[in-house]
């Protein structure tokens, strides 16, 4: 199967994964907070945190397994992740009858580890996140399992592109779309699909100050092989960047803005106070960008923003939201 990221293949991907994922709603947020950020504009929120497994990652995981030969599927799959991708691979394995073995950091959120096990995956814990990818590769080699990468590869990007396709087909005449950036798998797919349907849309990424690997990579003109990560948004803390997803980002990403951890906490609080949404930090990152570096830059424009994940336990969520309340102006 010759996988591509053209519009025809993205639409075929949407049909292929449809039985296993949700077409998440898009909500036009009309209140004082939204108006303060884009005065006289429209803010359309893609509620991807309502996706099966609690994040967009299910789309790429399902597509990766469905497009592999039966002989490969029979041997099982493996993945490395801070949580959301691991949960997605565990779900995809259970949904498609494929054995899944996921590698996670020992300090990963316990709720995420529990979700992986609830979906029937075997979980391998490592002491340092830098060991996760080598451990995944060792498992793949020793057990002949197929690797499902969290953000690299055409099949992963085809999956994430279906998020962009749903936005582009649902909201006409967009001016900009805002996307959280970790490894680049989401924004590369979303940006490709959006620009295929609505070529003039600006694709804006959001990174934490403490995990600004993609913006640094784009500035250097090459993907960083090691990224320094220090942020509460663990889902955005990619330890490296990879050639395929980076090359697509070079083509489709117009701008990346940075937000600090206090801003991420404030945006989590905004999501709860204004919408009663319980988001993880990565899921609220686009709101932090709107209230910070993008404030007043999108005045009067029609904007889509992806709320990409909600996998966080109650105690951790409350601690971060309370921090957001404390540091709010």
Phi, psi of 179 (to 5 degrees): -135, 135
pLDDT digits (tens, 9 = 90+) for 213-260: 999 999 999 999 998 889 999 899 888 899 999 999 999 999 999 999
Task: Give me the pLDDT at residue 49, please.
Answer: 98
Average pLDDT, the chain: 95
DSSP for 93-109, please give it: HHHHT--EEEEEETTS-
Q: Please tell me if the domain spanning 7-55+153-327 has the same topology as the one spanning 57-147.
A: yes
d(CA 163, CA 307): 11
196, 294, 209: which is closest to 251 by C-alpha?
Answer: 196
**Sheet of strand 176-180: strand arrangement:** 26-28, 42-46, 302-306, 176-180, 202-208, 255-259
Q: Where are the alpha helices (DSSP H) in the chain?
A: 7-17, 32-37, 57-66, 70-75, 84-96, 110-118, 132-143, 154-170, 185-197, 213-220, 243-252, 261-275, 281-291, 314-327
Q: Does residue 326 carry a pLDDT above 60?
A: yes
Neighbours of 4 (CB within 10 A): 11
Identify the band that residue 2 occupies on the pLDDT scale cut at 50, 70 and 90.
Answer: low
Q: What is the pLDDT of residues 60-119, one digit of tens each?
A: 999 999 999 999 999 999 999 878 999 999 999 999 999 999 999 898 888 899 999 999
Calculate helix-pair angle for 154-170, 243-252, nearest 10 degrees.
Answer: 30
- For 57-147, CATH gives 3.40.50.1100
Q: What is the CA radius of gyration of the chain?
A: 18
Domain range list for the chain: 7-55+153-327, 57-147
User: Quick one: pLDDT at residue 216?
Assistant: 95
pLDDT, residue 128, reads: 80
Going by C-alpha positions, the residue among 284, 302, 286 that lies closest to residue 294 is 286
Task: Quickly state the pLDDT bin for 4 (edges 50, 70, 90).
Answer: confident
Write the pLDDT tens digit of every residue in 21-39.
999 999 999 999 999 999 9
- Reported as a single tens digit per residue, the pLDDT across 272-320 is 999 999 999 999 999 999 999 999 899 999 999 999 999 999 999 999 9
CA distance 137 to 135: 5
pLDDT value of residue 329:
76
Please, which residues have CB within 8 angstroms of residue 202's CB and are 6 or more apart in sequence? 175, 176, 177, 254, 255
| Structure confidence at residue 237 (pLDDT) | 87
Q: CB of 285 within 8 A of CB of 258? A: no
Q: Which fold has domain 7-55+153-327?
A: Rossmann fold (3.40.50)
List of residues 6+ apart from 289 with CB closer than 8 A:
178, 204, 206, 257, 259
Residue partners of 284: CB distance under 8 A and separation at least 6: 264, 267, 268, 270, 271, 307
Within a 10 A sphere around the Cβ of 185, how many other Cβ atoms? 29
User: Buried (b) or exposed (e) across 284-305, using 16+ Cβ within 10 A?
Assistant: bbbbbbbbbbbeeebeebbbbb
Statement: residue 1 has pLDDT above 60 = no
């Amino acid at each position: 199967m010759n996988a591509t990221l053209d519009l025809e293949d993205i639409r075929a991907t949407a049909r292929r994964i449809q039985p296993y994922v949700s077409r998440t709603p898009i909500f036009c947020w009309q209140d004082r907070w939204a108006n303060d950020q884009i005065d006289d504009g429209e803010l359309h929120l893609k509620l991807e945190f309502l996706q099966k497994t609690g994040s967009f990652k299910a789309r790429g995981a399902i597509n990766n397994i469905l497009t592999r030969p039966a002989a490969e599927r029979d041997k099982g799959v493996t993945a490395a992740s801070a949580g959301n991708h691991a949960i997605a691979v565990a779900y995809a394995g259970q949904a498609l009858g494929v054995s899944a073995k996921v590698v996670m950091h020992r300090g990963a959120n316990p709720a995420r580890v529990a979700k992986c096990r609830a979906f029937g995956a075997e979980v391998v814990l490592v002491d340092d996140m830098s060991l996760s990818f080598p451990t995944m590769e060792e498992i793949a080699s020793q057990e002949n399992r197929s690797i499902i990468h969290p953000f690299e590869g055409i099949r992963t990007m085809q999956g994430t592109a279906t998020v962009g396709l749903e936005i582009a087909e649902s909201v006409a005449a967009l001016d900009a779309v805002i996307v959280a950036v970790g490894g680049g798998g989401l924004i590369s797919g979303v940006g490709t699909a959006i620009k295929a349907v609505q070529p003039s849309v600006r694709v804006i990424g959001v990174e934490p100050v403490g995990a600004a690997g993609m913006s640094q990579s784009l500035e250097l003109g090459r993907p960083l092989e090691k990224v320094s990560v220090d942020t509460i948004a663990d889902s955005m803390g990619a330890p490296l960047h990879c050639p395929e997803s980076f090359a697509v980002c070079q083509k489709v990403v117009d701008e990346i803005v940075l937000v600090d951890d206090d801003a991420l906490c404030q945006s989590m609080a905004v999501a709860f106070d204004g919408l009663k949404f319980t988001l993880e930090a990565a899921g609220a990152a686009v709101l932090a960008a709107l209230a910070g570096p993008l404030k007043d830059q999108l005045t009067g424009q029609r904007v889509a923003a992806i709320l990409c994940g909600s996998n966080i336990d109650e105690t951790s969520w409350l601690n971060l939201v309370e921090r957001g309340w404390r540091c709010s102006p």
